[in-house]
C-alpha cells in the first residue's frame, strides 16, 4: 500500500515536473495560449458583466435614493385621502404624493419645456421632517450615499421626534442627490438638474421664469419666478438626454426643477403618487424577479384604477357639488336681494308716479284757480276801470261843483269881505255916529244898516258855511272816492301780485313736476334696464349654475395611469442600453473564443509534434494514452485557466469601467467604485467556455498523434508532403510567380489549421477595427449627415398659434436682419404619435410646411440610397427612415397619426394616411405632411406658427437675435440646433472610448494570432530557413520569405475581416440604436482602408519582433540533424 502510494506520489510528482518543464521550455507557447484565453474569457466576462454592473449600479442608486417602483398618475389629481389609501394598500411600502406641472420656462435666455415638481408634501408641515429630506440627499461628492436619516437620527437624542420624522421620512421617495448648493426653503427657490448636457450649464443663482403652461399658471403656482439654489441629481431622471414626454413645447421635457410644495397653489391637487413596493428593493432593479414583485402590485392597481378614478370622480363631484350648492345659495340670496331691491325700486317708482299724478292734479287745480283768479282779476279790474271811469266823471262833476262852490265861496267871501268892509265902515260910521249922536239917526240907520249888514253877513256867512260844507262834502266825496279808487287800485295790485306769485308758483310747480316726471321716467328706465340686467344676470347665473351642474353631472372619471419603471424614460433607456451591451456581449466574444480554439489547436498540435518522440517513449514505456493526453490537457488547462483568470480579473474591471464612463456622459447613474463586483456565474461560464474550448482543441491535437504506434512515433514524422495547389493549374500565372511566393502559396494550403486560425484571427482583428471605425462613422454621421446634409435650418422659433400676421412679419424681419441667407419657412409642428398595424404608436414630430418648395432649402427630403430627392405632395406623408422601419411600413403602406398626451400615450383613434415616401433622417422621428393633405385629413386650416430659419452669422448674432426675439410676447420658444448638435457631440464622445476598446482588443488579437503563426512557422521551418541561409539568402530575403506568408495571410484575413466587420458593425449599430436616433448606415471608405492598413501594420510589428528570432537561427545547429 505504502509502496503503491509512494509510487503514485512519485509518478504524480514526475508528471508535474514534466509539466513544469514543458511550460518553462516553451514560455512563448504558454503565453500565447494564456493570452488568447485571457482575451477571450476576459472579453466575454467583461462585456457580460458590463451590463450586469450597469444594472447593479443603477439598482444601488435606485435603492439608495428610494426610487419609486410605481408612479400613479391621475389626470384630475388625487386627494390626500387617496394618497393615504394607496399608502396602506397591500404590497405598498411607501407612497408619496407630489404636485407636478409641465411648463415652458425661461432660463439663461433659453426656453425649456420644464417639469416642476414638489418635494415630498408629506413633510410639508413638518419642518424637521423636511430638513430630513434635505439631509437625506446622497452625497455624491464624497462618493458615498450618506443617508441623512440615519446620521440625523443618531445626532438627535429625541427619540419620539426622530421617530415621527422617520415615519414621515419613510414615506419619502425619490431622494435627490444634492451636488451643489442647498435645497429650496421658500416658494421662490428651486433646485435643478446638475447633470444636464443640453444647453448652457446651470449655475447657482440663475433665475427661472415660468412663461406658460397648460391652463392658467397662476391657478397652479404661487410663484412664477424662481432662483436656483441648488443642483441635484435625481434618479427619476437618470438619462440626461431623455427626461420624458410632455404635451408642451417640443414634446420632450428638457429640464426639471424641484420646489417646495408651497410654491404650488393651495388648491392645486396632488398630481401623482410615487410608491415603493414591499420586497421590490431586495430584488435587482428591472430583473425578472423585480418585475414579478412589482407587476403583481401594478396589476392590482390597474384592476383598481377604475375604482380609484371613480372615487376621485365622486370626491370631485362632491366637492364641486358642495361648491355649487354654496354658489347656488349665494345665488338664491343674491337673486332674492336683487328682486327685493327691484321691487323696492318699483314701489318707489309707483309712489313717485302717484305723487306725480297728485302733483299734476294740484298743478291743474292751481292752474284752474289761477286762471279763475286771473279771470276774477280781469273782471275786477274791468269793474274797477269802469268804476274809476264813473268816478272820474263823478269826480270831475264834483270838482266842477266844487269849483262852483269855490267860486261861490270866493264870491261869498268877497261878499263877506265887502260886508265886513261895509260892516267895518258901518262900525266906523257908528263909531263916528256914536261920537256924533247926530248921526244917531244915522246911527239907527246905521244900526239898521248894520243890522241889515249883519243879517246880510250872517246870510253870507251861512252861505259860506253852506258852501264850505258843500266843498267839504264834495272834498269828502272826492276824497272818499279817491280813497276808494286807491284802495281798489291797491287791491288790484295786490291781487295782481298774488296772481303773479301764483303763476310763478304754478310754473315752479310745473317745473318741479316736469323734473319729477323726468326723474320718474329716468327712474323707470333705469329700473327697466336694471331689471332686465338683473334678470339677465340671474338668468346667466342660473345658466352658469345649470352648466356647472351639467358639468358636474357630466364630469368623467379621470384617467388613472399606473406606471412602473419601464415607463420612466431614464431608467428604461438605461436598462435597455445595458441589455444592448448584453446583446453585443453575446456576439463579440465568439470571435475570441473561435480564435482561442484555433490558437490552442495549432499551438498544441505543434507541441504534440515537438514531443512526438517523447510520446513514443512514454508509450513504449507502457504509459496509457489517457496519461499522456492528460499532460497536454493539463498544460492547456493551466495556460487557459491562468489566462482566463487574469483576463477575467482585469477585463471585468476595465471593460465595465470604460463602458460605464462612456455611458456616464448620458446617464447620472454613478460609476461603481473599484473593485467592481465579479459575477461568479459569468466568470465561471467564461472560464469554462474558454478552457473548455482549449481542452477540446488540445484533445483533438493530441488524439491523432497518440493513435500512432510507439515505433512510428520514435521516427521523425515525415515532413508534410508538398502539394500542388489549384493556382498552379493556371499556368501563365504560376510561371510568373517567384519561388518565394510559390512556397508561400503552397504553405498556406499545406497547414489548413494555421490558415484557418490566422485568417479567422486576422479577420477578427480587422473586423473589430472596422466595427470600431464604422461605429465611429455611423455615429458621427448622425450629426454630420443630419445637420450637414439633411437639416439646413439652425433655428426653430415657435410663435403662439394666435399670433397675427404682423407679428410673423416682424419676427421674420428680425431673422432676416440677423441672417445672411435669410432662408426661412413657416411650418406647423405638432407632437404626435404614429402607429401602424404591426407596431404601437411612436412619438414623432409632424411637420406641415407652408411651402413645399421653400422647405427644400432648409430640409432636404431624400432617399438614403442614391440621395434621390423626394417631393412632398398631397399623395401621402413622408416618414423618416427610422420611424418607417420601426413601424414596419414602406412607401404605399398606411400609418395612423394619433394625438399625444402628457405621459406619451397615443390618444384617440387617429387618422389613417398613406405613406408616400421614406426620407433619410438620423435624429428624431418626423412625419412630413403636405398642407393640402393636412386640410383634407383634419378638415381644418393648418396654423403655421413655427419658423425654421437658417441663421449662419455666428453665435454672437444668434444670441443677440435670441434676446430680441424673447422680447416679442408672442414668441413661445427659440431654440438653436447647435445646442442639439453640441449635446449630441457630448453624448457621442463616449463612443470614442468604445472604439479605443475595440482597437486595443483588435491589436491584442492580431498580436497573439500573428505571433503564434509566425512563431510556429519559424520553429517548424527552422531547417528550411537555415537551408536558405546556407544557400546565401540575405537576412532580408529570409525575412521576406517567411513574412510573405504572414503578410499574405494577413491580407486574406483582413479582406475577410472587412466583410465580417461590415456585418458586425451593422449588428452593433442595430442593436445599440435607440428609437429616436438612426445611426449612419455606411462605413466610410477610409475606415475600410484604415482597418486594412492598421491590420497590416500590426502584422509588420509582429514581423519586426520576429526578425531577431529569424536572424538567430543557427545554420549549423539547425542542419546538424533531423529534428
Partner 1 sequence: MSFVEFHDVCKLYQMGEVEVRAVDGMNFSIEQGEFCVIVGPSGAGKTTVLNMLGGMDTVSSGDILLEGKAISANNERDMTMYRRHDVGFVFQFYNLVQNLTALENVELASQICDDPLDPAEVLGQVGLSHRLDNFPAQLSGGEQQRVAIARALAKNPKLLLCDEPTGALDYETGKQILQLLQQTCRETGKTVVLITHNTAFEQIADRIIRIRGGRADSVETNEHPQDASVLEW
**Applying CB under 8 A, which residues contact partner 1?**
718-723, 738-739, 742-743, 746-747, 750, 1023-1024, 1026-1035, 1037, 1115-1116, 1119-1122
How far does Cα 1006 stand from its chain's mean position? 50
CB of 722 to partner 1, least distance (A): 4
As beta bridge partners, residue 115 has 102, 256
How far does Cα 72 stand from its chain's mean position? 19
CB of 1051 to partner 1, least distance (A): 19
Distance from C-alpha of 965 to C-alpha of 1076, rounded to nearest angstrom: 29
Which is closer to partner 1, CB of 745 or CB of 997?
745
User: What is the number of other CB atoms lying within 10 angstroms of the CB of residue 375?
Assistant: 10
Which is closer to partner 1, CB of 88 or CB of 735?
735
Which is closer to partner 1, CB of 17 or CB of 1120?
1120
Which is closer to partner 1, CB of 168 or CB of 1029?
1029
CB of 725 to partner 1, least distance (A): 10
CB of 1044 to partner 1, least distance (A): 13
CB of 1010 to partner 1, least distance (A): 21
Which is closer to partner 1, CB of 328 or CB of 1029?
1029
Q: E strands along 247-387, which residues?
A: 255-259, 270-277
Which is closer to partner 1, CB of 160 or CB of 718?
718
Distance from C-alpha of 1104 to C-alpha of 466, rounded to nearest angstrom: 192
Distance from C-alpha of 403 to C-alpha of 423, rounded to nearest angstrom: 28
φ, ψ for residue 698, nearest 5 deg: -65, -45
Which stretches within 65-204 are classed as H helix? 80-87, 127-135, 148-155, 159-171
User: What is the number of other CB atoms lying within 10 angstroms of the CB of residue 620?
Assistant: 13
Which is closer to partner 1, CB of 160 or CB of 1122?
1122
DSSP classification of residue 789: I
Which is closer to partner 1, CB of 360 or CB of 708?
708
- The CA-to-CA distance between both ends of the chain, in Å, stands at 42
As beta bridge partners, residue 561 has 73
Q: Rg for the chain (alpha carbons), in Å?
A: 62
β-pairing, 225-234 vs 189-193, is parallel
In terms of phi and psi (left: phi > 0; alpha: psi -120 to 50; beta: otherwise), the region of 99 is beta
Distance from C-alpha of 838 to C-alpha of 841, rounded to nearest angstrom: 10
CB under 8 Å to 157, separation ≥6 — which residues? none
Max CA separation in the chain (angstroms): 254
CB under 8 Å to 66, separation ≥6 — which residues? 94, 172, 173, 174, 175, 276
CB of 870 to partner 1, least distance (A): 60
Distance from C-alpha of 838 to C-alpha of 884, rounded to nearest angstrom: 11
Burial class (CB within 10 angstroms; exposed 0-12, middle 13-18, buried 19+) of 1095: buried
Which is closer to partner 1, CB of 748 or CB of 782?
748
Which is closer to partner 1, CB of 677 or CB of 1035?
1035
Question: What is the DSSP code string of 567-585?
Answer: G-HHHHHHHHHHHHHHHHH
Which is closer to partner 1, CB of 417 or CB of 1111?
1111
CB of 716 to partner 1, least distance (A): 10
Contact in structure between 139 and 145 (CB atoms under 8 Å): yes
CB of 616 to partner 1, least distance (A): 20
CB of 28 to partner 1, least distance (A): 24
CB of 1045 to partner 1, least distance (A): 11
CB of 11 to partner 1, least distance (A): 32
CB of 750 to partner 1, least distance (A): 6
Which is closer to partner 1, CB of 102 or CB of 1045?
1045
How far does Cα 65 stand from its chain's mean position? 24
Distance from C-alpha of 517 to C-alpha of 514, rounded to nearest angstrom: 5
DSSP classification of residue 320: H
Which is closer to partner 1, CB of 88 or CB of 1036?
1036
Contact in structure between 917 and 836 (CB atoms under 8 Å): no
Question: What is the DSSP code string of 1066-1107?
Answer: HHHHHHH--TTB-------HHHHHHHHHHHHHHHHHHHHHHH
Which is closer to partner 1, CB of 605 or CB of 990?
605
CB under 8 Å to 882, separation ≥6 — which residues? 921, 922, 925, 1073, 1075, 1076, 1077, 1078
Distance from C-alpha of 461 to C-alpha of 415, rounded to nearest angstrom: 9
CB of 1028 to partner 1, least distance (A): 8
β-pairing, 926-928 vs 906-919, is unpaired
Which is closer to partner 1, CB of 537 or CB of 1023?
1023
Which is closer to partner 1, CB of 1 or CB of 721?
721
CB of 735 to partner 1, least distance (A): 11
Number of alpha helices (DSSP H) and beta strands (DSSP E) in the chain: 28, 20
Helix, coil or strand: residue 115: strand
Which is closer to partner 1, CB of 282 or CB of 1030?
1030
CB of 1035 to partner 1, least distance (A): 8
β-pairing, 971-976 vs 877-880, is unpaired
Which is closer to partner 1, CB of 1023 or CB of 1084?
1023
CB of 1015 to partner 1, least distance (A): 19
CB of 1116 to partner 1, least distance (A): 5
CB of 713 to partner 1, least distance (A): 19
Per-residue CA distances from 875 to 837, 851, 934 (Å): 20, 16, 11
Amino acid at each position: 500500500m505504502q509502496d503503491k502510494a509512494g509510487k503514485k506520489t512519485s509518478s504524480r510528482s514526475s508528471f508535474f515536473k514534466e509539466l513544469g518543464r514543458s511550460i518553462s521550455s516553451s514560455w512563448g507557447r504558454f503565453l500565447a495560449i494564456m493570452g488568447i484565453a485571457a482575451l477571450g474569457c476576459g472579453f466575454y466576462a467583461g462585456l457580460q458583466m458590463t451590463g450586469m454592473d450597469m444594472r447593479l449600479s443603477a439598482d444601488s442608486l435606485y435603492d439608495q435614493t428610494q426610487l419609486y417602483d410605481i408612479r400613479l398618475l391621475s389626470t384630475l389629481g388625487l386627494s390626500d385621502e387617496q394618497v393615504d389609501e394607496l399608502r396602506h394598500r397591500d404590497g405598498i411600502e411607501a407612497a408619496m404624493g407630489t404636485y407636478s406641472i409641465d411648463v415652458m420656462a425661461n432660463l439663461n435666455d433659453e426656453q425649456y419645456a420644464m417639469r416642476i415638481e414638489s418635494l415630498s408634501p408629506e413633510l410639508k408641515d413638518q419642518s424637521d421632517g423636511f430638513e430630513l429630506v434635505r439631509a437625506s440627499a446622497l452625497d455624491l461628492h464624497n462618493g458615498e450615499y450618506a443617508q441623512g436619516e440615519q446620521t440625523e437620527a443618531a445626532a438627535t437624542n429625541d427619540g419620539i421626534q426622530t421617530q415621527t420624522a422617520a415615519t414621515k421620512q419613510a414615506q419619502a421617495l425619490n431622494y435627490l442627490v444634492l451636488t451643489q448648493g442647498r435645497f429650496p426653503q421658500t416658494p421662490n427657490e428651486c433646485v435643478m438638474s446638475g447633470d444636464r448636457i443640453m444647453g448652457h450649464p446651470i449655475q447657482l443663482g440663475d433665475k427661472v421664469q415660468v412663461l406658460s403652461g397648460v391652463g392658467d399658471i397662476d391657478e397652479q403656482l404661487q410663484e412664477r419666478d424662481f432662483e436656483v439654489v441648488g443642483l441635484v441629481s435625481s434618479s427619476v431622471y437618470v438619462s440626461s438626454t431623455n427626461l420624458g414626454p410632455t404635451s408642451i413645447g417640443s414634446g420632450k421635457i428638457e429640464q426639471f426643477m424641484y420646489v417646495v410644495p408651497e410654491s404650488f397653489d393651495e388648491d392645486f391637487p396632488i398630481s401623482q403618487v410615487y410608491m415603493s413596493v414591499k420586497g421590490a428593493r431586495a430584488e435587482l432593479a428591472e430583473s425578472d424577479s423585480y418585475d414579478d414583485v412589482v407587476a403583481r402590485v401594478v396589476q392590482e392597481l390597474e384592476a383598481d384604477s377604475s375604482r380609484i378614478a371613480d372615487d376621485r370622480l365622486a370626491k370631485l363631484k362632491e366637492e364641486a357639488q358642495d361648491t355649487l350648492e354654496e354658489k347656488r345659495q349665494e345665488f338664491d340670496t343674491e337673486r332674492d336681494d336683487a328682486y327685493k331691491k327691484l321691487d323696492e325700486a318699483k314701489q318707489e317708482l309707483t309712489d313717485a308716479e302717484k305723487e306725480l299724478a297728485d302733483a299734476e292734479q294740484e298743478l291743474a287745480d292751481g292752474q284752474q284757480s289761477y286762471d279763475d283768479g286771473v279771470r276774477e282779476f280781469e273782471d275786477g279790474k274791468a269793474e274797477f276801470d269802469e268804476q274809476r271811469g264813473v268816478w272820474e266823471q263823478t269826480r270831475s262833476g264834483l270838482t266842477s261843483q266844487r269849483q262852483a262852490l269855490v267860486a261861490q265861496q270866493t264870491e261869498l267871501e268877497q261878499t263877506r269881505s265887502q260886508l265886513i268892509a261895509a260892516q267895518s265902515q258901518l262900525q266906523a260910521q257908528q263909531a263916528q255916529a256914536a261920537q256924533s249922536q247926530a248921526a244917531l239917526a244915522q246911527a239907527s240907520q246905521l244900526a239898521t244898516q248894520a243890522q241889515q249888514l249883519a243879517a246880510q253877513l250872517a246870510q253870507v256867512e251861512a252861505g259860506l258855511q253852506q258852501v264850505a260844507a258843500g266843498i267839504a262834502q264834495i272834498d269828502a266825496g272826492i276824497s272818499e272816492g279817491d280813497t276808494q279808487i286807491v284802495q281798489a287800485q291797491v287791491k288790484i295790485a295786490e291781487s295782481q301780485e298774488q296772481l303773479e306769485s301764483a303763476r310763478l308758483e304754478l310754473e315752479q310747480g310745473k317745473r318741479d313736476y316736469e323734473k319729477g316726471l323726468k326723474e320718474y321716467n329716468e327712474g323707470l328706465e333705469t329700473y327697466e334696464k336694471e331689471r332686465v340686467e338683473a334678470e339677465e344676470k340671474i338668468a346667466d347665473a342660473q345658466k352658469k349654475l345649470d352648466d356647472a351642474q351639467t358639468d358636474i353631472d357630466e364630469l368623467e372619471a379621470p384617467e388613472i395611469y399606473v406606471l412602473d419603471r419601464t415607463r420612466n424614460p431614464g431608467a428604461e433607456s438605461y436598462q435597455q442600453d445595458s441589455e444592448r451591451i448584453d446583446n453585443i456581449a453575446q456576439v463579440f466574444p465568439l470571435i475570441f473564443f473561435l480564435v482561442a480554439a484555433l490558437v490552442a489547436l495549432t499551438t498544441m498540435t505543434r507541441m504534440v509534434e515537438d514531443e512526438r518522440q517523447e510520446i513514443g517513449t512514454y508509450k513504449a514505456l507502457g504509459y496509457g494514452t489517457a496519461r499522456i493526453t492528460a499532460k497536454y490537457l493539463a498544460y492547456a488547462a493551466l495556460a487557459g485557466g491562468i489566462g482566463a483568470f487574469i483576463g477575467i480579473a482585469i477585463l471585468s474591471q476595465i471593460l465595465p469601467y470604460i463602458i460605464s464612463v462612456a455611458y456616464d456622459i448620458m446617464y447620472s447613474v454613478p460609476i461603481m467604485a473599484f473593485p467592481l463586483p465579479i459575477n461568479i456565474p459569468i466568470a465561471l461560464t467564461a472560464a469554462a467556455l474558454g478552457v473548455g474550448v482549449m481542452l477540446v482543441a488540445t484533445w483533438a491535437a493530441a488524439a491523432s498523434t497518440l493513435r500512432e504506434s510507439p515505433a512510428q512515433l520514435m521516427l521523425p514524422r515525415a515532413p508534410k508532403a508538398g502539394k500542388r495547389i489549384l493556382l498552379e493549374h493556371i499556368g501563365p500565372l504560376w510561371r510568373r510567380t517567384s519561388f518565394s511566393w510559390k512556397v508561400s502559396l503552397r504553405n498556406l494550403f499545406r497547414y489548413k489549421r494555421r490558415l484557418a486560425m490566422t485568417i479567422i484571427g486576422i479577420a477578427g482583428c480587422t473586423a473589430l477595427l472596422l466595427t470600431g471605425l464604422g461605429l465611429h462613422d455611423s455615429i458621427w454621421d448622425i450629426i454630420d449627415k443630419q445637420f450637414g446634409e439633411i437639416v439646413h435650418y439652425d433655428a426653430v422659433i415657435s410663435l403662439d398659434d394666435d399670433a397675427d400676421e404682423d407679428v410673423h412679419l416682424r419676427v421674420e424681419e428680425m431673422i432676416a436682419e440677423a441672417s445672411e441667407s435669410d432662408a426661412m419657412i413657416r411650418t406647423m409642428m405638432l407632437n404626435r404619435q404614429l402607429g401602424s398595424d404591426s407596431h404601437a404608436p411612436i412619438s414623432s414630430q409632424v411637420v406641415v410646411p407652408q411651402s413645399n418648395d421653400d422647405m427644400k432649402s432648409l430640409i432636404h427630403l431624400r432617399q438614403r440610397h442614391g440621395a434621390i430627392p423626394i417631393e412632398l405632395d398631397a399623395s401621402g406623408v413622408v416618414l423618416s427612415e427610422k420611424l418607417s422601419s420601426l413601424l414596419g411600413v414602406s412607401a404605399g403602406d398606411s400609418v395612423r397619426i394619433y394625438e399625444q398626451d402628457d405621459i406619451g400615450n397615443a390618444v384617440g383613434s387617429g387618422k389613417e394616411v398613406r405613406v408616400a415616401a421614406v426620407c433619410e433622417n438620423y435624429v428624431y422621428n418626423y412625419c412630413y405632411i403636405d398642407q393640402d393633405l393636412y386640410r383634407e385629413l383634419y378638415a381644418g386650416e393648418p396654423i403655421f406658427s413655427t419658423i425654421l430659419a437658417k441663421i449662419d452669422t455666428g453665435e454672437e448674432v444668434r444670441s443677440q437675435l435670441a434676446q430680441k426675439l424673447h422680447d416679442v410676447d408672442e414668441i413661445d420658444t427659440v431654440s438653436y440646433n447647435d445646442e442639439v448638435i453640441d449635446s449630441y457631440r457630448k453624448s457621442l464622445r463616449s463612443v470614442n472610448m468604445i472604439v479605443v476598446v475595440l482597437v486595443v482588443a483588435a491589436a491584442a488579437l492580431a498580436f497573439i494570432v500573428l505571433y503564434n503563426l509566425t512563431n510556429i512557422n519559424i520553429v517548424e521551418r527552422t531547417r528550411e530557413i537555415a537551408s536558405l541561409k546556407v544557400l546565401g539568402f540575405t537576412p532580408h530575403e529570409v525575412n521576406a520569405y517567411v513574412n510573405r506568408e504572414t503578410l499574405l495571410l494577413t491580407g486574406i484575413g483582413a479582406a475577410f475581416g472587412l466583410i465580417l466587420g461590415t456585418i458586425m458593425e451593422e449588428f452593433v449599430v442595430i442593436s445599440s440604436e435607440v428609437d429616436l436616433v438612426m445611426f449612419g448606415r455606411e462605413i466610410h471608405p477610409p475606415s475600410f482602408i484604415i482597418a486594412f492598413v492598421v491590420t497590416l501594420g500590426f502584422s509588420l510589428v509582429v514581423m519586426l519582433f520576429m526578425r531577431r528570432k529569424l536572424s538567430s537561427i543557427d545554420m549549423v545547429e539547425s542542419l546538424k540533424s533531423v529534428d
